[in-house]
Structure 1
């Protein structure tokens, strides 16, 4: 199950409420493979101003707030909007509304905000327009920003963040705006080192021109890939090369040509998988004709042919037999899908394979309907994060493309090949929602972190499409409960939670109370069943205050590092000490430390 806290957002209350369900692509953090991956969730907006996040028949999270009711019949005169993250209040996240528009000082979270990359934008709104200087910060360190004029338009010098800015992809762009349009030379930096740049025309139109060095969408420390070529009148022309930077060495690993007039792809191209990195060097090699793929396209991994198939000559449809790679294909997760396409749609039997010890063996599969290309009948599917150390599969039935009836969860031990049922439950026949008792796996399930969750799903008969449910969980290893309320999977009461990286050598748990999904009162941190840290949350706003002992992000048996100090109004202040011990039998000793002022290091 996905933890929605990894991509939770704060909704802009000034937007018009639209009833209905949206299919939204989001990025989630895979705790096993230690990277972000894209997935889709359903977000439903209801008439009573509730929001439900749903995936695979489960309500991941829900909200119901009176302050969303901004409409002509019920105007919101003046209100304060707060931000919350993982049950904790985010200090200075949010701001004020007057008559439904933003006013005064605001602090907003960035698109990819998460616990290890807390990117915020802070500045002033006047009549819903940004004014004056706006500052961008990450983990309380200033990293960018610039000036907005009286119309809310960017002007002057700016330092902007890439859309995917995060801990391992700290990419910024430095340049100048004129009347909201980029002007002149813009430079690209990663961690203060220039890695690229480009030039924008100054004729009133923000248009790319000349030689450019662009970054791959997923550019990071493990995927330093750039595209180098020429723009003319805002269009790519001529030869473009794909470069890979590894160990300070530069090499061309792909590319192709764009038409000089129409800027469409033609001829032979070598393209990269969007997740290309050191242990996932996947390339696609084939021919474009008028920007459409035609003929045979081969898929290579580390220069070894591993898949591919045919496109027709007219419409760029996949046809005939294909071998495709999973979205998360990499060295320890070599999962492939083999089957047939008809006019671009999957049909008939598809088999799923996994390579272990240089041999592929079948781990699952099923059938697609020949007419509408939807799954039907019996299927065995691998978990999205399936890999050598977490060989989890799901076994059950599809009806009209939806899961129905009993589904079981299996885990194969890579050490001895034994395949054992470890979980499962029922999907409702009418709406494919989970019902009744379920045994599920923790997000980071693998061979040294085999944590399961046991609980019950219950649908409210009054709810539409099973939108409301109860979810009660008991972590087997600790024989204690965590409760969700009956109004939409909101945590309440006493909880025991696992750290994100919980495994055999880092058995860290958090124990405390939730009130309306907000953390309140005393929360203790335990390691290997013994208290090692913790502190208090404010009852009203869920802000940390008073003395706290927190664990380092990478705390485990051989690196037992803690941070000790005080919070005031949710911010670190005063002296904070960093302590270390070799084992549970030793005492902690100070190894470093320093002081904070208003949450900033001084």
Structure 2
């Protein structure tokens, strides 16, 4: 999914207001759902889920692209409180209200519509079970220097931003879906262009424990004229990885960053000691187009993580024939 959050350089990009409606995938607590976001000709942003209007926002600042919300709880409960100055630009202190109440020490200061100085912000997937904050400094809307994460009143050091507002050197990143029952962090290094390079470890900590343990990871390759890409053997986590649904994907990326060969889906319940094979299948590389497709027999995890689907793909990566649905063992 393409990120909905404006980049660090967004205030320098030309403001373009494109009217219309688009579908977006966002988080509803621990799951992903689809909503529709409409940009109207009178500069309003309307969030909808089917026929239900979730939120309507009026855009006032027209020199930067608006930040869109990617979390259903935020769409319902998050509001900003502050003032606008000359030219409808944000100025002075801005605070966050959650479900009608001011969050203490959360927010910061604007000058001429740009963030300046010390800020404490909500992490992208903030909600009641994922009360995670990011704290650090801005200079002319760029993040700079060291930034930390705050979770359950404990500080988790993130890393450093360079002068261009990009992550640089060693970092600890929290997963997009980090919450009390899915405490996942990524530990590795960024190059001077803000690209992941080298070995990145995926670490996991159960809610009733204090120690993070490695559960996955792999290598990133980033060259001067290319985007970062995964290479070699990887153990990745499911989007729905939680204490009670520990699902991993194990397989290999080739030098072009394409999944190849056999990929296994592994599963472990909270009270079990080892992962067991529950699914997977093979990828077939399409050499001319530099991508791969699933082929042959596959066992996949459905949109609801407790279900598997068994069936077959043809040589073009399309599902064919009958697919059989099954509940994972012990799931009630």
* 8 Å contact from structure 1 (residues 273, 284) kept in 2: no
Task: Answer with 1 or 2: which has the greater Rg.
Answer: 1
In structure 2, the residue matched to 1:165 is: 178
CA drift at 1:40: 2.2
The whole-number CA distance in structure 2 between the counterparts of 1:45 and 1:82 is: 27
TM normalised by structure 2 equals: 0.74
| Structure 2: distance between partners of 1:253 and 1:113 | 32
How has the CA–CA distance of structure 1 residues 17 and 256 changed in structure 2, closer, same or farther, with 3 Å as cutoff? same
Other-structure match for 1:272: 301
Q: Could you say which residue in structure 1 is the equivalent of 2:117?
A: 104
What SS is found at the alignment partner of 1:219? Answer: coil
In structure 2, how many angstroms separate the alpha carbons of the residues matched to 1:221 and 1:57? 34
Deviations 1:409-430 (A, max 9, x none): xxxxxxxxxxxxxxxxxxxxxx
Offset at residue 41 of structure 1 (A): 4.8
Q: 1:93 to 1:298 in 2, by over 3 A?
A: same
- Map of 2:318 onto structure 1: 292
Aligned residue among 231, 250, 255 for 2:253: 231
Q: Give 5+ residue unaligned stretches, structure 1.
A: 1-8, 30-34, 305-329, 333-602
The structural deviation recorded for 1:152 is: 1.4
Quote the residue 1:184 is aligned against: 198
SS of 1:259's equivalent in the other structure is strand
Secondary structure in structure 2 of the residue aligned to 1:74: helix
Confirm or deny: 8 A CA contact 1:231 1:237 kept in the other structure. Answer: yes
- For residue 42 of structure 1, report the CA deviation from its aligned partner: 4.5
Output the CA distance in 2 between the equivalents of 1:188 and 1:77: 38
Measure, in 2, the Cα distance between the counterparts of 1:178 and 1:38. 33
Give me the whole-angstrom Cα distance separating, in 1, the residues matched to 2:241 and 2:331. 19
Partner Cα distance (1:155, 1:108) in 2: 20
Counterparts in 2 of 1:61 and 1:239: CA distance versus 1, 3 Å: closer
Cα separation, 1, equivalents of 2:161 and 2:115: 15
Distance 1:231 1:24, change over 3 A: closer
Aligned match of 1:195: 215
Residue pair 1:267, 1:287 contacting (<8 A) in 2 also: yes
- 1:217 is aligned, of 205, 223, 239, to 239
> Of 225, 228, 252, which residue of structure 1 is paired with 2:277?
252
Note the C-alpha offset of 1:170.
1.0
Shift of 1:174: 0.3
RMSD: 3.2
Summarize the alignment of residues 296-335 of structure 1 with structure 2, pairs less than 5 Å apart. 296-302=321-327
In 2, Cα distance between equivalents of 1:79 and 1:149: 25
Residue of structure 2 equivalent to 1:128: 141
Q: 1:17 to 1:114 in 2, by over 3 A?
A: farther
In the TM superposition, what whole-angstrom CA distance separates every residue of 1:183-222 from its partner, at most 9, and x where no partner exists? 2111101111110121123654533221111111111112
Q: 2:37 touches 2:45 (CA, 8 Å); kept in 1?
A: no
Q: TM-score, normalized by length of structure 1?
A: 0.43
Deviations 1:252-295 (A, max 9, x none): 1111112254532222222111332xxx23223222322222x3
Separation in 2 of the partners of 1:203 and 1:21?
36
**CA 1:297–1:136 in structure 2 vs 1: closer, same or farther (change >3 Å)?**
farther
Match of 1:464 in 2: none
Counterpart of 1:240? 263
- Inter-partner Cα distance in structure 1 for 2:311 and 2:242: 24
Q: 3-state SS of the aligned residue for 1:168? A: coil
